[in-house]
């Protein structure tokens, strides 16, 4: 019985006028707790709201400040490490590309490079690193193949 009610909530039975057959149409309803366009609060925003309330003790304010500092530290260290590693890898790819005499594809760059680390990368990673170099690398498309050179 419960499944029947659930079925009737989510589907609407409809009669096809031409064939006379009944079929089910899924009725799409918005979730009652989620409003469209409303952004979910982050932990940092919640802690700042709690700190700014009127009847908050000093102990709670200190706790909120401590948690906000932990969140800031976590976001700062994680992103900077990854960005530094990515920049280092991109520089190695740039140096390998600078060694090449003529424009090369990503596959040729991986095969012909003298840098063992760049040779171990797959083509998707090398392409992403080349894209991150921006204007330092020039891209040409010849017969559907992307050729890269140092700009």
In order of their start, the domains of the chain are 2-14+36-150 (1.10.10)
Count helices and strands in the chain by DSSP H and E runs: 6, 4
Tell me if 1 sits within 8 A of 8, measured CB to CB: no
* Predicted local distance difference test score (pLDDT) of residue 134: 87
Q: CA nearest 108: which of 146, 56, 135, 137?
A: 146
Q: Residue 22 pairs with which residues in a beta bridge?
A: 15
Q: Would you write out the chain's pLDDT as a tens digit for each of its 151 residues?
A: 444 444 455 556 666 667 767 666 665 555 555 556 667 888 999 999 999 988 889 999 999 999 999 988 887 776 777 888 889 999 999 999 998 889 999 999 999 888 889 899 999 999 999 999 888 899 999 999 999 999 8
Q: Tokens 């366009």 correspond to what residue?
A: 37
Tokens representing 73 are 């530290």
* Predicted local distance difference test score (pLDDT) of residue 13: 62
Alpha carbon distance 20, 18 (integer Å):
6
DSSP 31: -
* Predicted local distance difference test score (pLDDT) of residue 92: 92
Q: CA nearest 150: which of 128, 117, 89, 140?
A: 140
Alpha carbon distance 52, 62 (integer Å):
12
């Amino acid at each position: 019985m419960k499944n029947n009610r659930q079925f009737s909530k989510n589907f609407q039975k409809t009669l096809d006028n031409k064939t006379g057959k009944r079929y089910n149409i899924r009725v799409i309803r918005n979730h009652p707790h989620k409003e469209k366009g409303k952004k979910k609060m982050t932990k940092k925003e919640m802690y700042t709201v709690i700190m700014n309330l009127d009847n908050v003790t000093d102990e709670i304010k200190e706790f909120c400040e401590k948690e906000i500092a932990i969140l800031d530290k976590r976001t700062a260290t994680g992103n900077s490490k990854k960005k530094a590693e990515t920049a280092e890898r991109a520089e190695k790819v740039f140096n390998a590309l600078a060694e090449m005499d003529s424009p090369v594809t990503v596959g040729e760059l991986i095969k012909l490079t003298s840098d063992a680390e760049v040779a171990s990368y797959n083509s998707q990673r090398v392409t992403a690193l080349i894209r991150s170099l921006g204007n330092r690398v020039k891209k040409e498309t010849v017969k559907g193949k992307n050729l890269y050179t140092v700009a």
